[in-house]
Amino acid sequence: MVVETTEALDFLSVLGLEDKNPGVSTGLQWFDGKGKYLTSNSPVDGQLIGKVKSATAGEYEEVVEIAQEAFKAWRKVPAPKRGEIVRQIGEELRAYKEPLGKLVSYEMGKSYQEGLGEVQEMIDICDFAVGLSRQLYGLTMHSERPNHRMYEQWHPLGIVGIITAFNFPVAVWAWNAAIAWVCGDVCIWKPSEKTPLCSIACQKIANRVFERNGIPEGVSCIVNGDRKIGELLAKDTRIPLVSATGSTRMGKDVAAKVAARLGRSLLELGGNNAIIITPNANLEMSIPGVVFGAVGTCGQRCTSTRRLIVHKSMLAKVKKSLTRAYAQLKIGDPLDEGNHVGPLIDKDAVQNYLNSIKAVKKQGGKMIVEGGVLKGKKYESGCYVRPCIAQVENDMDIVQHETFAPILYVIPYNKLEDAIALQNAVPQGLSSAIMTSNMLEAEQFLSCEGSDCGIANVNIGTSGAEIGGAFGGEKETGGGRESGSDAWKAYMRRQTNTLNYGTSLPLAQGIKFNI
């Protein structure tokens, strides 16, 4: 493990990561079982960071049984008290923000600033969940029957299974776990096999709080492993809700398995996000938003800007501005804050990037800024690529698919109605934006005839959502909602209660039943 030889990577030891890490935990207990090791190699320099023991089917079974017992106790803890535990986890994350942000950057490849931002999202959702713990409101309704009271209340579901992707290796877990915990649920987390060390670090941070407060073992569990572990979660009737983040292909598979047992799934899947630039856009503000959206996390966000729909009168100017901006991008080690763009996650992602560029050219696209794999000593991991731009038609097959890489497609339009139609004419429906200083254009974009996405922004880009609003999208994005607003309802079951405080038994709808 590099930690012992490289002073710059001392954050690994600060987080308690070892050469070989047990990858299964129920909180107080770590399983060092018979599962195979997952190796974590950094895309930054290609070095082996460490190994994580994956779960066996038997260990998975043991974890679920412990989580079931934990739920029986945790659900009885008053919600504000559960919120206090989450508050303390937020404080612990504040203390470890820098080393955890560095780990996210080094294991996943996003810039250090983005790594810090991801940990800040975890802190923010903990703060949100603390307030939520006192606001799990139901409704009261007037009964049609005399001396009757009607109301609804919300109860915890039980075990929440959380499947996360490599591109946000810690934040998406926190989005789910923090809210699930204040709702009274317990969690079993199946992290991405590409970023297993991030999960170990998060579990250790949460464990400190749970142990200090005497919280039952099993409230927070992790089961590292390959897709077989995810399948166990999806098929398990003891897990009422599975929240899965990843590709549309993966989501369809999870959804089918969960639906087959009539369970619930919360899906956050692919995005094919567009920004519309109208003649009324402020380009000085728009171009940085486009560039960050397209190249941030090396194009590996579900909210990354994939398509730029530009009015024909602005096309030449926008292309010139983008070309100038892309020429200034610094690509390299994401822990160096002077760099804008880090690596792709692995060489498979690099090959997918190259195949997509080849498909763009074959299908008639014209390159505005050429791409390619970067060579040289500082790019020795083989995962660094050049962000590129191509002018295309929206109906090209390659444009209809999500490419998890820094490839931006420029598409011209004539009328705003055409631009909105182009924006909506893809299978995905996550994030969207319009750049305009015209109120009528903005309102048209936000109307029921406008963007069909779960997120629609005006004069900001497609990525960088705040936790206060519900996050998620429509169509092949899966329809799930996480994080803010009333997303908490997905983690609870609604119960309608009718209470008769009279001495007779009138029936609803005036039905007479005399015996």
Which residues make Cβ contacts (< 8 Å) with residue 309, sequence separation at least 6? 274, 275, 276, 277, 394, 411, 412, 413, 419, 422, 423
CA-to-CA dists, residue 328 to 286, 325, 333, 380, 464, angstroms: 17, 5, 16, 22, 22
The pLDDT of residue 34 is 81
276 closest CA partner among 458, 464, 453, 403? 458
Q: Are the beta carbons of 138 and 490 closer than 8 angstroms? A: no
Q: What does R_g of the chain's alpha carbons equal in angstroms?
A: 24
Query: Which stretch of DSSP H or E encloses residue 276?
Result: strand 273-277
What is the 3-class SS of 326-392, one letter each residue? HHCCCECCCCCCCCCECCCCCHHHHHHHHHHHHHHHHCCCEEEECCEECCCHHHCCCCCEECEEEEC
Active-site position among 92, 107, 268, 482: 268
The pLDDT of residue 33 is 74
299 closest CA partner among 444, 445, 461, 161? 461
- CA angle 458–464–470, rounded 5-degree value: 80
Residue with the two structure tokens 């699930």: 180
Pairing of strands 48-53, 37-41: antiparallel
Q: Are the beta carbons of 281 and 461 closer than 8 angstroms? A: no
Q: Are the beta carbons of 304 and 294 closer than 8 angstroms? A: yes
214 closest CA partner among 31, 84, 79? 84
Pairing of strands 24-25, 220-223: antiparallel
Pairing of strands 431-435, 388-391: unpaired
**Which residue blocks in 168-308 are alpha helix, DSSP H?**
171-182, 196-212, 227-235, 248-260, 283-295
Active-site position among 302, 383, 388, 453: 302
Q: What whole-number distance in Å separates Cα of residue 341 and Cα of residue 371? A: 14
What is the rounded (10 degree) CA torsion for 164, 16, 93, 477?
A: -10
pLDDT tens sequence for the chain (515 residues): 333 334 567 899 999 999 899 999 999 899 987 889 999 999 999 999 999 999 999 999 999 999 999 999 999 999 999 999 999 999 999 999 999 999 999 999 999 999 999 999 999 999 999 999 999 999 999 999 999 999 999 999 999 999 999 999 999 999 999 999 999 999 999 999 999 999 999 999 999 999 999 999 999 999 999 999 999 999 999 999 999 999 999 999 999 999 999 999 999 999 999 999 999 999 999 999 999 999 999 999 999 999 999 999 999 999 999 999 999 999 999 999 999 999 999 999 999 999 999 999 999 999 999 999 999 999 999 999 999 999 999 999 999 999 999 999 999 999 999 999 999 999 999 999 999 999 999 999 999 999 999 999 999 999 988 999 999 999 999 999 999 999 999 999 999 999 999 999 999 999 999 88
Q: Is 512 left (phi over 0), alpha (psi -120 to 50) or beta?
A: beta
- CA angle 481–344–268, rounded 5-degree value: 10
Pairing of strands 388-391, 366-369: antiparallel
Number of residues written out for the chain: 515
Q: Are the beta carbons of 313 and 279 closer than 8 angstroms? A: yes
Q: At 480, which amino acid appears?
A: G
Q: What is the pTM of this model?
A: 0.96
Is 302 a known active-site residue?
A: yes
Which residues make Cβ contacts (< 8 Å) with residue 390, sequence separation at least 6? 357, 360, 361, 365, 366, 367, 368, 407, 408, 409, 410
Q: Reduced to 3 states, what is the DSSP secondary structure of residue 509? A: helix
Residue with the two structure tokens 């139609």: 421
The pLDDT of residue 6 is 46
Helix axes 196-212, 97-108, angle to 10 degrees: 160
